[in-house]
Amino acid sequence: MAATVVRSASGFRGSTGGGARERAEAGRARVPAQSLAGRNLDRLSKTMGTVGSPGCPQGRKVAQLAKRSFQRKALTTGSVYCSAAAGDGEGVAEPPKYCVVNFYHLVDVADEKAELEAHEAFLGEAKLDVKGRVFISEHGVNAQLSGPEADAVRYAEWIKSRPNFSDLCYRVFPSPGHAFPKLVLRNKALVSLLREMDDLPVTKPDQRAEKVSPQRWRAMLEEASSEKGQPGDGDGRLKPLLIDVRNDYEWDTGHFQGAERPNEYNFIETPVGQDVYGGLGDVEKERPIMMYCTGGIRCDIYSTVMRRQGFKNLYTLEGGIQNYLREEGPDHWKGSLYVFDSRMAVPPHLDSTREDGSLSAVAPCAICGGTAEAPHLNCANVDCNKLFLACEKCKPKYSGCCCKKCTNAPRLLRPIKKDGYYAKLHTYSETDDELKRQREDREALEEKIRRKKAAKAAAEAAGVPLPKKWGKKYLKM
């Protein structure tokens, strides 16, 4: 009989350049390794001692929980699980090898709508299992995809076969499953800055910075960090200046040594016009400027702005940080790498399928100041939603919140998990006993607090002292 296939993807992290709404969604997309159904199954099995036969009530209960645990597992991993139908035995097929594929190509597109229709037609006919973001505009294409490696690479190769896209370069990175919940294919500005400045000559290579290989970039990093010359090296040459053209929270996860923290929370906030990038106001226009970002597109595009501002010696890292870490390793790099998908951060070796410990971060824990772990969290207080880094102890201690005050907020997003991460509410059934009990306990406590506050107000109005046994904690919201 035909096998039943369960497909799912992990959560979704942000648009290219990183918007606040997308960051919030990604922070909520961390799914726990064990679901409520799995824990209920463990508890029931221990209570019964042995699993009952399928025909008895206890056996049916165990079977139902096992099925739900299996489905939750598919949701958490993003892999494809194949369970044999009844009577065929049980087993899990070898899952496909998933990957994340990133690429962009800056080229004039005469008819962006026709180009979009061509992509839609190809994907509709090929029926590829790819998810992610593909933005097509008059300036070219920008894409981040996930899926089985064969499907993702096939799509990238098809784009390379398109007119004017033969020079497209794409890179493939291992992933434990889909890194995006769905495929978003649309006509849209390639990065947020182009929504405001669509007249930038980004498709003209001579108007952009010079691309340098990871090998040359490493040599330039060593030159920039040398003690010789301030800023020259004694023979008339100017020492390179390194700038990070990403968002401030990306720098907090990891960055090249010697790069100052950006002032911008969003790429669209990067200075344009007469204003220059932070710290460059007094820099000589002839001085070499080394610009880097995750994949390279933000540097390529922002370099056209800096050309207008008079900077003459601009250099960008070919393929971005990802390409450097792949070619040169973690030398001159600190921390982990922030990425705009459900993983949110990857180790310097870029293989997110390897479980080799926690991910290091450069910035300290926002709560206690200790050593933080990547990735970032969004505060579990819905009305706060702050993006922050926390240490291993503070994540569960503060229930995924950014401070003690938020732990007492009336609208906490979802049940806390022991590792400090959350699952989306739709991964839980409303009939789950544990979730129902938590909701009932919370409502009962809130009702008790309301009654106590009303009694306090009435007692104070009547001049009657409050009973000592009530305690102050029941009188606070």
Beta bridge partners, 254, equal 335
Beta bridge partners, 276, equal none
Kind and range of the H or E element at 100? strand 98-106
| Ordered DSSP codes for 229-287 | SSSB-SSSPBPPEEEE-S-HHHHHHEEETTPPPPS-SSGGGS--TT--STT-TTS-TTS
Active-site option among 293, 365, 394, 402: 293
How many helices (DSSP H) and strands (DSSP E) are in the chain?
13, 18
Q: What six digits make up the tokens of 234? A: 């004694």
Helix, strand, coil share of the chain (percent; to 5): 35, 20, 45
- Taking a C-beta distance cutoff of 8 angstroms, is the pair 145, 152 a contact? yes
Three-class SS state of 2: coil
Q: What six digits make up the tokens of 439? A: 């909701």
∠ CA 132-353-348, rounded to 5° = 90
Amino acid found at 233: D
Is residue 293 part of the annotated active site? The answer reads yes
The catalytic site residues sit at 293
